[in-house]
Amino acid sequence: MKLIHPAKLKEYEVQANTASFTYDEMMHIAGKALADVVINRFELLDSKKISGLIGGGKNGTDTLIALTHLRSEGWQTWAIKITPSNLPNWAINDYKKAGGELIDIQDQARCSQVIKESMIILDGIIGTGFVPPMREDLAAKMKVLRKWCTGKDIVAVDCPSGVDCESGLVDEHTLKAEICVCMEAVKPGLLKFPAFNYAGEICQVDIGILKKLHMDGHKEDNVLDDRLITSILPGRKNDSHKGSFGSVLICGGSVNFPGAPVFAAKAAYKSGVGLVKSAVPERIYEICANQHPESTWVILNDENGVISESAAKLIQNEIPKVNCLAIGPGLGTEETTFRFFKEILLPGNGIEKKHGIGFLPEQAMNKPEMGPVTPMVIDADGLKLLSRIPNWEKLTSQKLVLTPHPGEMSEITGLSIDEIQSNRMEICKEYAKKWNQVVVLKGALTVIGSPEGRIAVCPIASSALAKAGSGDILTGLIAGLIAQGVGLFDAAVVGAWVHASAGVLAARLGSRERCVGISEILSSLPEIFSRIETK
């Protein structure tokens, strides 16, 4: 699904109208698409009765057009005019010719009656340019409508009436939707709290604006959905072998966190990668190997149960043999491990380094004799260690995927967690560009930023994922997909979607969000991959 700010989309609408794709044509397409969504989603209902709440803008016209189409499909419809409107005469006439009834909100007895009869309510009152609070007269009407619409399936037209589609703020009288049908693109405010709690299931319908402007293939920001993920996920041939799907090296673990690299390794295998190597300190090798015999093992020198700096050479020798390195899960932040981490990133200052991962002084960057480097996913303690290296982003030519939660993002950027959480999309985009790396800002509504300034948002928020170890699964998924040849940004996009969807599925399978464990999330991954591969 496309993600476009309301003001920018209005600019596109003006350009399309100027290019002879008229507003009337846009609304015809939008109304028909809205009707199709209703028919598809509610086709099994015994009672095909629906009321539309009509405002004065394009949303109101879209709603009236949808009601007209629904009547032609045998639905019983009523249109309730909520605000003084300048609806096009042709839209009103078409609806009345179809036998539809247009009722003014002032006729409260009739309005109450038809809403009571209706199974579904279309909310087309307020458009995407709204900024709270509502006018007093409209707020009074909305208060009554909320009471009448209790228990109904509400379908928001472009946005729930009362939501600020930029900031995500919500007026107290807003109708809470089951489905929000976004015209041409999802608006960013719907993917912020508290608005997200009012939007329900978000879907997008194309109405032809970008296509008219020859921007249909334009790289807009995106909201993740099955269709997008299916288009990215690489296929698998029957005559493949393990080498066809790449290899991953997972480096992490410590005496206090022996499970983290195991979770990452298990998730990497679930992603479809051909081989997973796990590099862990000797102290925890036996525990980890018992938990995951599928991995091959690189046993590292340790110091009091954490990876010692003396283990760096062994990892450097392994890096050229794999297609992706993931470092950080359970790594620890002790000084000897920090020196190990720095040595992996700054081997010999990077000047003579021809393979593997390394940070490079400016004079060494882009030297012709330098060979390709192995992509890297940095998570968890790896991010904390990275934040201790001054100006790291100016030194490296390596392509990284960074997967911070808000606390880790705060450590790397110096921003407060409140600053980050209040502007997640903007912050992620800014720092992905600044660092020239892929950034996955984890949490409810995970945001993925690209070095080119694109973002993608995962429209899933579930407390099922709020568990220690959940992020390790995401790290393994992303690394496994990179090893299979998926680009870093796309791998992060697919990983975030699959990870979040698996958490939701695990909760639905009976554990409830509160009780979902890491094993349930891992067990749900195959079903999610099955869903997207069969789309």
Model confidence at 363: pLDDT above 80: no
276 and 423 both lie in a single domain: yes
Q: Per residue in 235-254, pLDDT tens?
A: 899 999 999 999 999 999 99
Shared domain check, 352 and 320 = yes
pLDDT digits (tens, 9 = 90+) for 284-306: 999 999 999 999 999 999 999 99
The whole-model pTM stands at: 0.92
Residues paired with residue 378 on neighbouring β-strands, in sequence order: 327, 402
Residue 233 covered by a domain: no
Check whether residue 219 and residue 244 sit in a common domain: no
Q: Measured at the alpha carbon of residue 245, what is the angle toward residues 239 and 247, in degrees to the nearest 5?
A: 145
In a domain, 235, yes or no: no
Residues 217 and 289 in one domain: no
Can you give the CATH number for the domain in which 130 is found?
Answer: 3.40.50.10260
Alpha-helical segments (H) within 118-259 = 136-148, 196-199, 209-212, 226-232
pLDDT in the model for residue 43: 87
Instruction: Check residue 372 and give its pLDDT.
Output: 57
Q: How many percent of the chain have pLDDT more than 90?
A: 88
- Asked whether the predicted pLDDT for residue 454 surpasses 70, the reply is yes
Q: Residue 353: pLDDT above 60?
A: no
As a whole number of angstroms, the distance between CA 89 and CA 456 comes to 40
> Smallest Cα–Cα separation from 316: which of 267, 249, 266?
249
CA distance 159 to 171: 13
- Domain termination site, one of 194, 223, 252: 223
Note whether 217 and 244 are same-domain residues: no
Residue 232 belongs to a domain: no
Poorest-confidence range of 162-166, 353-357, 405-409?
A: 353-357
Q: What is the CATH number of the domain that holds 437?
A: 3.40.1190.20
Last residue of a domain, one of 172, 193, 223: 223
In the predicted model, what is the mean pLDDT of the chain? 93
pLDDT attached to residue 365: 36
One domain for residues 270 and 392: yes
Whether 257 and 195 map to the same domain: the answer is no
Tens-digit pLDDT profile for residues 42-61: 988 888 999 999 998 899 99
527 occurs within a structural domain: yes
Statement to judge: residues 154 and 255 lie in one domain: no
- Residue 328 domain-assigned? yes
> Is residue 228 one of the residues assigned to a domain?
no
- Kindly state the average pLDDT of the residues 192-196: 97
Token pair of 251 as six digits: 């480096």
Residues 165, 309, single domain; the answer is no
**Residues 440 and 339 placed together within one structural domain of the fold:** yes
In the chain, the number of structural domains is 2
Lowest mean pLDDT among 311-315, 422-426, 439-443, 512-516: 512-516
pLDDT band, residue 331 (cuts 50/70/90): very high
Are residues 142 and 246 part of one domain?
A: no
CB 152 within 8 A of CB 118: yes
Full residue range of the structural domain in which residue 409 is found: 240-533
In this prediction, residues 253-270 reach a mean pLDDT of 98
Could you tell me if 106 and 244 lie in one domain?
no
Q: What is the pLDDT of residue 217?
A: 60
